């Protein structure tokens, strides 16, 4: 069982990756059949991880492309948005927090924090 | 002595036309729905009036990309069985026995067998074993020999 390498997979395009995925799933199914027939079972772990690797590459590249596509758009799909926590998503933005009333601005202007130095 | 009514008549005509003009202006300002008309109700029951129903026109997709089919043929069929009773079924009843995914149904099993092994299933029976796995008995069509297929799959 040859281990599939992720960095090699990333050069391929979607159609090829889907084909490779199918092949790896087929290989996994064959190993499962062999297990029943009393054959070698050590390769099962590697086969499962191969399938996982191909799926990871497929999904990662897909999402990356989608993010590029939606970069300039106003609305993005929900699963491409920042997740954080519900409360944090609804909190004030840093700009909104920084806003000050005119009264406060005047105070800051007229009474800034003074720095003093003590003569030795 | 005849009074000069011509001036009076002219004045009344002017008055009438000005009244007409004023009324026209008023109704033009009020618009089409100026007068309140009471609807004639022919039934004592009030049914909710039909209003405009728009189709959905979402500004963004909720999911960025649709998921690949989750229950594909590799997920449906887990492994074939080669126990004694399973072997008996192969020889005598032309059926293959598989352990399948618990969430799969008979149609999916039939489809999966077709995709994986290129054989038509005449009938599928399923049961759920006491240890939680689903067992499927797939009877093949009469023109195919289950023993051959089993040899081809490789679990004999």
pLDDT in tens, A66-99: 999 999 999 999 999 999 999 999 999 999 999 9
pTM greater than the 0.90 cutoff: no
pLDDT at B29: 84
- Mean pLDDT estimate for chain A: 93
pLDDT at residue B19 greater than cutoff 60: yes
Q: Name residues 86-115 of chain A within 8 A of B (Cβ).
A: none
User: What pLDDT is attached to residue B120?
Assistant: 94
pLDDT at residue number A41? 84
B27: confidence class by pLDDT, cuts 50, 70, 90:
confident
In this prediction, residue B133 carries a pLDDT of 97
Q: Phi and psi for B136 in degrees, rounded to 5?
A: -120, 130
Residues of B with CB under 8 A from a CB of A: 59-65, 72, 74, 77-82, 116, 153-156
Which one of A36, A40, A76, A77 makes the best mutation probe of the B interface by having the most chain B beta carbons within 10 Å? A36
DSSP per residue, A30-87:
HHHHHHHHT---TTHHHHHHHHHHHHHHHHHHHHHHHHHHHTTSS---GGGS--S-HH
Q: Identify the three-state secondary structure at position B99.
A: strand
pLDDT value for B93: 95
Is B89 within 8 Å of B137 (Cβ atoms)?
Answer: yes
pLDDT band at A65 (very low <50, low <70, confident <90, very high): very high
- Taking phi first (over 0 means left), then psi (-120 to 50 degrees means alpha), and beta for anything else, what does residue B132 get? left
Segment B60-71 mean pLDDT: 92
Residues of A in contact with B81 (CB under 8 A): 36
Chain B closest-CA separation from residue A36 CA (Å): 6
Greatest C-alpha distance within chain A: 92
- Please indicate if any CB of chain B lies within 8 Å of the CB of A15: no
Quick check: helix, strand or coil at residue A104?
helix
Sheet holding B77-80, edge to edge: B77-80, B95-100, B134-140, B121-128
Rounded distance, CA B89 to CA B96, Å? 7
Q: Chain B: residue nearest A64 by CA? A: B64
């Amino acid at each position: 069982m040859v281990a599939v390498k992720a960095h090699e997979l990333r050069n391929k395009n979607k159609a090829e990756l889907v084909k490779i995925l199918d092949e790896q799933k087929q290989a996994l199914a064959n190993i499962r059949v062999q297990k029943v027939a009393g054959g070698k079972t050590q390769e099962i772990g590697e086969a499962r991880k191969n399938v996982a690797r191909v799926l990871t590459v497929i999904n990662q590249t897909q999402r990356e492309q989608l993010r590029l596509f939606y970069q300039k758009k106003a609305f993005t799909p929900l699963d491409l948005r920042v997740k954080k926590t519900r409360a944090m998503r609804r909190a004030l933005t840093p700009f909104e927090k920084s806003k000050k009333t005119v009264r406060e601005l005047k105070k800051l202007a007229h009474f800034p924090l003074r720095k003093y130095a003590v003569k030795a | 002595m005849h009074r000069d009514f011509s001036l009076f008549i002219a004045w009344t005509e002017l008055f009438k036309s000005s009244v007409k003009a004023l009324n026209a202006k008023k109704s033009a300002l009020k618009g089409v729905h100026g007068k309140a008309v009471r609807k004639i109700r022919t039934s004592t029951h009030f049914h909710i009036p039909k209003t405009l129903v728009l189709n959905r026109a979402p500004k963004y997709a909720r999911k960025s990309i649709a998921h690949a089919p989750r229950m594909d043929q590799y997920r449906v069929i887990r492994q074939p069985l080669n126990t004694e009773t399973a072997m008996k079924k192969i020889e005598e009843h032309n059926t293959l026995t598989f352990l399948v995914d618990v969430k799969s149904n008979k149609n999916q099993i039939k489809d999966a067998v077709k995709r994986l092994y290129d054989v038509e299933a005449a009938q599928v029976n399923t049961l759920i074993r006491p240890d939680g796995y689903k067992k499927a008995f797939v009877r093949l069509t009469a023109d195919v020999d289950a023993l051959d297929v089993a040899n081809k799959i490789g679990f004999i």
